[in-house]
Structure 1
C-alpha cells in the first residue's frame, strides 16, 4: 500500500513539474514575441504602439530589461509626459545604478521646476547598498556559518569553547539580521496627476497644504487606506494613492 502511494506521489509530482515547465516555457515564448515586436515598432518610430507593448510586458508580466525601460522613458519624454518619463528613468536607475541617469533626471526636473531630484554621494551609496543588500547579507551569514563550524571543531579538539570565535559568530549574525531588516533609504514615489492636492491629514476634509503638478518625487513614509503619507517640504503630508506612483520594480 505504501509503495503504491509513493509511486502515485512521484507520478503526480513529475506531471505537475512537467506541466508547470511547459506553461512557463509558453509564457516566455509569448513574451519574447512581444518584446521583438515592440522593439521593431520602436525602430520603425511607431512609439505609442511600442510603448503599449512594453507597458503590458512590464506591468502585466513583471518582465523588463534596462534597454526596455530607457526606451519607455525616451518615448514619454518625447510625448512631453515628464512625470512618466521620470518614473521610467527612476526604474532604469534601479537596475543600472548609473550616475549619468541621475544627472539626466536632475536636469529634466530642473527644467520643469520639479523637486526631489537633488542627489549626493550619500544617497548614491545608500542605493548601491540597497541594490547589493542580499549579497552582503549572504556573505555575512556564510562567514558566521563558517565560524560556527570552526567553533564546533575546536570544541571537539580541545573540549573547550573558543570565546573569541563565539563572539565573532554572534557579531556576524547580528550584522546580517540588522542589514536584512534595515533599509537606509525610504521608498520613493512620483506624483503622476497633473493637479494634486497635498493634504495636512489623511482625509478629504483636511486642510490643503499645497497644490502641485505631476513629476515631483517624494519620500513615502506610510500608507493609510486610500492615503499615502509623504514628506513634503520637510513636513509630513498626505496625497491620494491614485495621484502617486511608487518607484518599484
Structure 2
C-alpha cells in the first residue's frame, strides 16, 4: 500500500483524477506513517466528495486522538452529513420540477391565475433558500505548525491563538492573503498558505 501512495499522488497532481477509494487509501497510508494532518486532509476530501457518517467518525476519532479543534461530533453534524449526502440529488429534483412547472405555466399563461404564479414564485424562493442555507460550506485544515490566528487581516492585528496542524476551520471569505474563518463563534484570520482548503 505504501508503495502505491506515490502513484496515487502523481495521478492526483497530473490529471486531477481521484476517487473516494484512492483518497481513503492515501489517508490510510499517511496515518500508518504517523502523518495525521495529511491523513485528515485526504479523509476530508473523501468526505467532501462522498459524505458518509463512517468517514466522519474516523475523522473525529483521529482528531480527538491528537486534540485538534473544529471536528464536532453531535447529532446536528450527523444530520448535516445526511443532508449533504443527498444535497445534489435533491437539488436536481427541485430544479427539474421548477423547469417543468415554469414550462406548464408559460404554456397556460392565459388561463393560469395569479395564485399559480405566486405558488411558483414561492417555490423558486424555496430553492434559493435551499441553495444558500444548506450548501456544503468551505472548510480548511491547518497545514503548518504554530499557524497564528489573528483578529484582523494583517500581521499587526491582535493575536488570538496558535493553531495546530490538522485543526479545522470553516472558511467564510478571503481578503488579500488572509482567509476569514470561524473560531469559537467569532471571526478570525489566518494566512492563506497556512490553510489547506478542502475542495
Is the counterpart of residue 228 in structure 1 residue 182 in structure 2?
Answer: no
Unaligned runs of 5+ in 2: none
State the secondary structure of the residue aligned to 1:107. helix
Residue in 2 that maps onto 1:203: 154
TM-score by structure 1 length?
0.70
Residue in 1 that maps onto 2:20: 66
Is the counterpart of residue 161 in structure 1 residue 115 in structure 2?
Answer: no
Q: 1:139 to 1:81 in 2, by over 3 A?
A: same
- C-alpha distance in 2, partners of 1:136/1:186? 17
Residue in 2 that maps onto 1:97: 51
State the secondary structure of the residue aligned to 1:194. coil
Q: Kindly indicate whether structure 1 or structure 2 has the higher relative contact order, using CA contacts under 8 Å at least 6 residues apart.
A: 2
Aligned counterparts, 1:1-249, within 5 A? 42=1, 47=2, 49-152=3-106, 160-183=111-134, 185-248=136-199
Query: After the TM superposition, which of the residue ranges 219-228 and 144-153 deviates more from structure 2?
Result: 144-153
- Answer whether contact 2:52 2:81 (CA < 8 A) is retained: no
Q: CA deviation at 1:184?
A: 5.0
> Higher strand fraction: Structure 1 or Structure 2?
2
TM-score by structure 2 length?
0.86
Q: Whose Rg is larger?
A: 1
Provide Cα deviations, 1:28-60, integer angstroms capped at 9, x if missing partner.
xxxxxxxxxxxxxx2xxxx1x522221232233
Aligned length: 199
Aligned-residue Cα RMSD (Å) equals 2.3
- Answer whether contact 1:145 1:169 (CA < 8 A) is retained: no
Q: 1:226 to 1:143 in 2, by over 3 A?
A: same
- C-alpha distance in 1, partners of 2:167/2:105? 53
